[in-house]
Structure 1
Amino acid sequence: MQALDAVAVRQWADACVRSLDANRDDIDRINVFPVPDGDTGTNLSQTMRSAQDSLLRTPVDSVGQALAALARGALAGARGNSGVILSQVLRGLAEAAQDAATAGAQAIRRALHRADELATAAVSRPVPGTVLTVLHAAAEAARDCPSDNLDDVVTAAAKAGALALADTPRQLAVLAEAGVVDAGAKGLVVLLDTLVAVITGRPLDVPFAASPPRTPESLTTAREAGSAEYEYEVMYLLDGASDTDLLKQRLAALGDCVSVVGDGADLWTVHVHCNDIGAAVEAGIAHGRPHRITVARFADQITAQAPRFVRDRAVVVLVEGEGAAELFRSEGAVVAEPTDNPADLLAVVVSTRARHVTLLPGDPDLREPLEEAVAQAVASGQDVVVVPTFSPVQALSALAVHDPSRRPGDDVVAMAEAAAATRRGEVKVSEREAITWVGRCQPGDLLGMLDGEVVLVEPGPADVPALSCRLVDRMLAGGGELVTVLLGEEAPEGLDEVLENHLRVAHPEVELAAYRGGQPGAVLSVGVE
């Protein structure tokens, strides 16, 4: 690979999350500077996961946009000092590739140099032998690399970072005494190694799934830097900051480990160790709008960040109407409203936190945005399959045969077969004049549709129950044992009773299942199995 593009950035983000998860406990164990028993590995993992989630929720088509999405997510979800520094590393990469569709060797050189500048500026008192030392070494090695091949440049940066990491105990006595390297620097080397693996195509020697979370008893909120006299870590996001230098001064008077870093636009992350929590928040109020305020007491235990996938299987149904949504939820599905925005669809898939996701769209018009959302989810390591369902009743049929105990592939096949075996019908009011297979219709006419085609037209104002019965009769002409109806928002009262009485007389062998769906603008959705 001689140019980093948006797809490669997604691959790198996923690889970083997996690598940091796999190395999390080891990095936590070596966190001895300046206070032992830290959570550097956990904080890096959580920050990178936030960055990846931001990328998954953002439609991107260039390397600059992809890196910017990562930087925004890392800044918004930064945990601890190491998370703040990571957010600035990603911001530096994003700024260097801001307007580029792809990034080659020269862009990576500029990106690492800018990352070095921003990360150093984020720390009030830089100390040799830390992540900043390793980042600087990597940036200089990329700059001095004689080759203009992208793989050579990133490999040189990663090797220099690894050498600088090995040298950290010679620069910090506390590391030498403990016989370890710097924890934050180790995390950076992990990220550089994953970048080399993505660009060179070498397989990553880490497990695909996140490592199991540690027990709450094994975790304590630890200080990654600063004096032990301060009991709390206060962090918040700040919008519209007016004077960040003055804010830093006010926070420095309250405690230590002060950082106020931004995304290059209008969002800032504020971090301080202090004893007066209220004063730290009030300082932010005086200079902008604080939100997402988090306070951690260093003596308290915290729960571990859950792995990316917290369950094996999920079924997502895209449907409108409160009644229909509640019906699908009662069957165990995740319900979301249909949308033609791929980013919103991707957010729904990602939020399930399921390894295998089956999508039941219930609307043929969603095919293209779904394809884009699914492609991004699959590229990030999630298994997503769309079962062709063109109406809510077909989605109901598919969900009825869903069996989590089956293999995912077999389950999808069974759901697809059930949906395909369900004939779909609809009663709706015409919105415009048109030519149909059975003649012209005018606005306000009542339409009976079968598998997407108009088969009945009743001039308005029409007899809804009568046309509904005629449509059901037509659908049952080819046989059937079960009629499922969803009553839309426009369905008249008692329509389900009319259909039940009609079937009892005309088709006594057929069972009726009727539900109040409440779909906006709809009269009736019918399924025949």
Structure 2
Amino acid sequence: MPQTVDSAAVRTWCALALDALGREREEIDAINVYPVADGDTGTNLYLTVESARRAVEAVFEAHDPGGTAPGFADVSHAMAHGALIGARGNSGTILAQLLRGMAEVLARGRDGEHLAEALRTAAASARQAVAHPVEGTILSVASAASEAAPRGGSDAAAVARAAYEGARTALDATPGQLAVLEEAGVVDAGGRGLVTVLGALVEAVSGEPPARTPRHQKAVVAPHAEACATGGPAYEVIYLLEADDAAVARLRARLDALGDSLVVVGGDGLWNVHVHVDDAGAAVEAGVEAGRPHRIRITHFGADPVPARPAERIQRAVVAVVPGEGLAALCTEAGATTVLARPGEPPASGELVDAIRRAHAREVVLLPNAAELRHTAAAAAEQARAEGVRVALIPTRAAVQGIAALAVHEPDRRFDEDVVAMTAAAGATRYGELAVAEHQSFTSAGVCQAGDVLGLIDGDVAVIGQDLAETAETVLDRMLAAGGELVTLVLADDAPAGLAERLETHVRDRHLAVDTCVYHGGRQAAPLLIGVE
């Protein structure tokens, strides 16, 4: 049996840990009262390890089957990376950091001495990842395991066994360290899961399973769950984040001010962010400012904070972001709930969630109508889903695409069919706009000077001109070169007089069988928006 932590041992460890957590998941869920009594710690740990194992198995499957195992560096990195991208919940996120810390040290050596050092590094890095470490939690169990691991030994099995026993002893002490555990008559659920994972490590390196951890049943459930729902933050927010170290440092400070249970783990440009907050949108927006968040998950701990009486609830609504008052009136007349995006002031996700709530609908179609609102709209959609609303986000990148989607909206048909039709209409609409350059800059169409008129097509500068009307005509010709049946023009209040009539005439004379529809957008950043369907 292996007495070092080699590639095969890591593979076995992941498999055994997953099996053990699968058997004990419900028991661990049942004793989950801290930091939130939501009964999912065992499930979160299971999903985290499942992701780690899947990544390790992928390395083995991709390895050339020549009878040798893949390199340890590849396997250990896969384990840590898989846990990082699949981490769930507070304890799962901490476990991912523990595995990452161990992998970094074991890459230098895999005997007992290095395993002991790996456990110490893992415990320290996990504490650093938690904004406000609390004793009586998985952190205490990890620290005790590292302290119990003998130094200077070469037998990895002996080190793993000592760490496991130290963790078991620390787990039994957690009720005396944390009042909520003592009141409920349970040990810490996260620490309980870590003992299970360490037990799997003992078996992986020694070939012998350790003594089974005694069962710890919860004595009281409902009082803690109720207290959590009414007294703590309303949402758990988790996302992966691509960002540099400096941006993550700023993000930590901002999220720490927004909520609690903050854990940020990872490194080398990829991080897993976990926090409990009342404003889930603000937590996601902080991530957007720091880098590129994805795999955003928002869980609502309690009931819908803005309940509506059943009689007030309608079946379906559309929520649309619009750039000006004119389009707001148009969309409102068409039955949509609108959010006004003022020049230089894009709406926050909280505003979008409020609009979804105002719609009082069981089903909502969300139209962000701006490429830069993609992450904000996604965060709002997730928050609304956590509150029990079925939300479909159609990634409209411009107001004219939203108009096209709204034009085919039929609330009486099935939700999925309606979303498909609206998505197809938006996707079939090319969008353009005219803007005035504020300073010299390089564009995809060349260098522009301050005061130049920029004609954008699908978000890229395609034309640089001097006259607004002439530039608009050029943009229209390019957009219609690929065909089209309907041109939509949305003019700002400060657009030149007669511009709409000139462009209508241009389309009628140059492009036969193409209709033109004109709307007045009111005060909006772009003097002219163009859509071609």
The letter of the residue matching 2:249 is: D
Q: Which residue of structure 2 aligns with residue 158 of structure 1?
A: 164
1:88 to 97, 100, 104: 97
Taking a change above 3 Å as real, the CA distance of residues 228 and 78 of structure 1, as seen in their structure-2 partners, is: farther
Correspondence 1:263-282 to 2 at 5 A: 264-282=267-285
Post-superposition Cα deviations, 1:145-185, rounded to whole Å, max 9, x if no partner, equal x7432211111111111111111122122222222111111
Verify the 8 A CA contact 1:223 1:298 in the aligned structure 2.
no
Report the Cα offset of residue 141 of structure 1: 1.1
SS in 2 for 1:257: strand
Report the Cα offset of residue 190 of structure 1: 0.5
Q: Are 2:188 and 1:179 equivalent residues in the alignment?
A: no
Report the Cα offset of residue 259 of structure 1: 2.1
Correspondence 1:327-346 to 2 at 5 A: none
Verify the 8 A CA contact 1:2 1:151 in the aligned structure 2.
yes
How far, CA to CA, are the matches of 1:228 and 1:34 in structure 2?
Answer: 12
Verify the 8 A CA contact 2:149 2:162 in the aligned structure 1.
yes
Correspondence 1:224-243 to 2 at 5 A: 228-241=231-244, 242-243=246-247
The letter of the residue matching 1:50 is: S
Verify the 8 A CA contact 1:47 1:79 in the aligned structure 2.
yes
Identity, % of aligned positions: 46
Verify the 8 A CA contact 1:34 1:224 in the aligned structure 2.
no
Post-superposition Cα deviations, 1:379-404, rounded to whole Å, max 9, x if no partner, equal xxxxxxxxxxxxxxxxxxxxxxxxxx
Normalised to the residue count of structure 1, the TM-score between the two structures is 0.50
Q: Which residue of structure 2 aligns with residue 287 of structure 1?
A: 290
The letter of the residue matching 1:131 is: I
The letter of the residue matching 2:87 is: A
The letter of the residue matching 1:122 is: A
Report the Cα offset of residue 110 of structure 1: 1.4
Taking a change above 3 Å as real, the CA distance of residues 81 and 34 of structure 1, as seen in their structure-2 partners, is: closer
Correspondence 1:97-116 to 2 at 5 A: 97-100=106-109, 103-116=110-123
Report the Cα offset of residue 275 of structure 1: 2.3
Taking a change above 3 Å as real, the CA distance of residues 21 and 55 of structure 1, as seen in their structure-2 partners, is: same
Q: Which residue of structure 1 aligns with residue 134 of structure 2?
A: 127
How far, CA to CA, are the matches of 1:114 and 1:190 in structure 2?
Answer: 20
Correspondence 1:251-400 to 2 at 5 A: 251-262=255-266, 264-299=267-302
Q: Which residue of structure 1 aligns with residue 53 of structure 2?
A: 52
The letter of the residue matching 2:259 is: G
Q: Are 2:251 and 1:250 equivalent residues in the alignment?
A: no
Q: Are 2:197 and 1:191 equivalent residues in the alignment?
A: yes
Report the Cα offset of residue 227 of structure 1: 8.6
Post-superposition Cα deviations, 1:14-51, rounded to whole Å, max 9, x if no partner, equal 00001001010111111122443421111101111111
Taking a change above 3 Å as real, the CA distance of residues 228 and 48 of structure 1, as seen in their structure-2 partners, is: farther
How far, CA to CA, are the matches of 2:7 and 2:87 in structure 1?
Answer: 22
Verify the 8 A CA contact 1:8 1:198 in the aligned structure 2.
yes
Q: Which residue of structure 2 aligns with residue 7 of structure 1?
A: 8
2:206 to 200, 207, 212: 200
SS in 2 for 1:120: helix
The letter of the residue matching 1:27 is: I
How far, CA to CA, are the matches of 1:149 and 1:98 in structure 2?
Answer: 17
How far, CA to CA, are the matches of 1:106 and 1:233 in structure 2?
Answer: 38
Report the Cα offset of residue 300 of structure 1: 6.7
SS in 2 for 1:259: strand
Post-superposition Cα deviations, 1:185-216, rounded to whole Å, max 9, x if no partner, equal 1101101111111211125899xxxxxxxxxx
The letter of the residue matching 2:160 is: V
How far, CA to CA, are the matches of 2:43 and 2:203 in structure 1?
Answer: 22
How far, CA to CA, are the matches of 1:271 and 1:64 in structure 2?
Answer: 27
Taking a change above 3 Å as real, the CA distance of residues 162 and 231 of structure 1, as seen in their structure-2 partners, is: same
How far, CA to CA, are the matches of 1:282 and 1:168 in structure 2?
Answer: 36
For structure 1, list consecutive stretches of 5 or more residues without a partner in the other structure.
207-217, 302-529
SS in 2 for 1:202: coil
Normalised to the residue count of structure 2, the TM-score between the two structures is 0.50
Computed over aligned residues only, the root mean square deviation of the Cα atoms, in angstroms, reads 2.8
How far, CA to CA, are the matches of 1:191 and 1:225 in structure 2?
Answer: 27
For structure 2, list consecutive stretches of 5 or more residues without a partner in the other structure.
64-69, 213-220, 305-533
Post-superposition Cα deviations, 1:111-146, rounded to whole Å, max 9, x if no partner, equal 1011011111121111111111111111011144x7
How far, CA to CA, are the matches of 1:72 and 1:224 in structure 2?
Answer: 35
How far, CA to CA, are the matches of 1:35 and 1:238 in structure 2?
Answer: 24
Report the Cα offset of residue 273 of structure 1: 1.4
Taking a change above 3 Å as real, the CA distance of residues 227 and 139 of structure 1, as seen in their structure-2 partners, is: farther
SS in 1 for 2:191: helix
